[in-house]
Amino acid sequence: MNPAGADGARRRIAFVPSRYGKAVVGGAEAVLGELAHGFAGRGWEVEVLTTCARDHYRWANVEEPGVSADGAVTVRRFPAVVDTPRAERAALGARIVAGDRLTLAEQQRWMNDDMRVPELFHFLLDHGHRYQAVVFAPYLFWPAYACSALVPGRAVLWACAHDEPELGLEVFRSLFAGVAGVCFMAEPEHALAHRRFATLAPHAVVGAPVVEPGGYDPEGFRARHGIDGPFVVYAGRREGAKGWERLLTGFARALRRHDLPFRLVTMGVGEVDPPPAIAERVLDLGFVSDDERNSAFAAAAAYLQPSANEAFSRTVMEAWLAGTPVVANAASAVVAWHCERAGAGLTYADDTELGLCLDFVARAPGAARALAAPGAAYVRRHYTLDDVVGRVEAAIEGWTGEAHRS
């Protein structure tokens, strides 16, 4: 690497989410997007390197490849490549979930039978030296696995680590140990990484930015969607990994046991497929704008977070900012940690406790709102964009600053 290239990289940063844009549903993608604009606001030259895909189910190339501008951020899109059918990956994935021990070669085939971005690989091979830091998220997708090694001393991993079988794969050991630094969003995620990996690269718990809306329109939301009575809301990906199917069955049982008045309003991507017995009580809005999502939070009696696999859970923070009670799966160490630390939120261990939480919200809505009130102060105290970007910037400067240049 020539010295001029290294010097020219100062305060130039690339963020590498697998997907990017307003039409994308995903926590890691949203966080990296906000960080990109936050760093641009601090005078960094910022690029986003991403795919042309919007969803992680098919990885269809919807956006045009090439270079565009998103405000002060330069966006470079590369085609995602998916070989279908991915029969071997599905078979290997089933073995991973079952706890089978895969050989390293099998793990590598499992990774490479997923979405790949060859043009991104070659771009970083040729131009990676132009950046002081290249931030990859999440750990589980091919760009972090395959491309981080191309920028030694510059790669930063935004881990998004969950307590899942994949995290224990040998193929990820070199990723978590070999990058310049690892960013964690919460202490339980940090502790999990230490349990799973004997060696970790330099790392920091930095949180995640949550931008507070300028206002809410709860009554307008109700009018636009024809909602008269009380409802609870879920926002995010409707899939097993996020606890969606279990939430539907738990909600159905709660309706039967407690004669609840609620409808379940859901927003996001993925199949909804409610049980026939409660199909009329489930209203799917599909993908909605950020403003509409925020107004839904403000109008809801409670926000439901059924996922055990959370590295931060920004939707919990958005609900608290709207003054809305949170009812969350206690199996998520991160969300339970937030609820205890904030002094806000209700957690449940099973369907019976979910029903009791919903019954409390239905019978004592004022008390439920009062329970949620400390949550907004918690978010403002720990997770403003400026504060989080400052922590991330300090960490990256420490890991990739001039004293660390090769």
pLDDT score of 272 more than 80? yes
- Residue 117 corresponds to which amino acid? V
- What is the average per-residue pLDDT within 287-300? 95
Give the total residue count for the chain: 406
Domain match, 200 and 272 both: no
**Residue 68 belongs to what domain range?**
3-209+384-404
CATH of the domain at 236: 3.40.50.2000
State whether 110 and 230 are in the same domain.
no
Do 180 and 277 belong together in one domain?
no
Query: Could you tell me if 178 and 96 lie in one domain?
Result: yes
Classify 182 as helix, strand or coil. Answer: strand
Same domain membership, residue 237 and residue 187: no
Regarding whether 307 and 176 lie in a shared domain, the answer is no
Q: How far is CA 221 from CA 10, 66, 227, 286, 288, in A?
A: 46, 37, 8, 14, 11
In a shared domain, residues 133 and 17: yes
* Distance (Å, whole) CA 149 – CA 152: 6
Q: Which residues contact 45 (CB under 8 A, 6 or more apart)?
A: 11, 12, 13
Please indicate, yes or no, whether residues 298 and 365 belong to a single structural domain of this protein. Answer: yes
pTM of the full structure: 0.90
Name the average pLDDT for the chain: 93
Quick one: 272 and 378 in the same domain?
yes
Does 250 lie in the same domain as 320?
yes
82 and 118 housed in the same domain: yes
* Least-confidence region, from 10-14, 89-93, 261-265: 89-93
The pair of structure tokens assigned to 28 is 């890691």
Number of structural domains found in the chain: 2
Q: How far apart are CA 89 and CA 107, in angstroms?
A: 9
> What are the tens digits of pLDDT across the range 172-183?
999 999 999 999
Whether pLDDT at 403 is above 80: no
Tell whether 247 and 358 lie within a shared domain.
Answer: yes
Q: Give tens-digit pLDDT for 21-52.
A: 887 767 788 899 999 999 999 999 999 999 99
Phi (first) and psi of residue 370, to 5 degrees = -65, -35
Closest CA to 321 of 305, 342, 346, 341: 342
48-62 pLDDT, tens digit each: 999 999 887 788 999
Tens digits of per-residue pLDDT, 120-135? 999 999 999 999 999 9
- Asked whether the beta carbons of 262 and 233 are under 8 A apart, the reply is no
Half-sphere exposure of 160 (CA within 13 A, CB side): 20
- Count of C-beta atoms within a 10 Å radius of residue 131: 25
Which pLDDT score is estimated for 88?
A: 86
Average pLDDT for 289-314:
95
Give me 225's structure tokens.
Answer: 């969607």
pLDDT in tens, 302-324: 999 999 989 999 999 999 999 99
Question: Quick one: what percent of the chain has pLDDT higher than 90?
Answer: 86
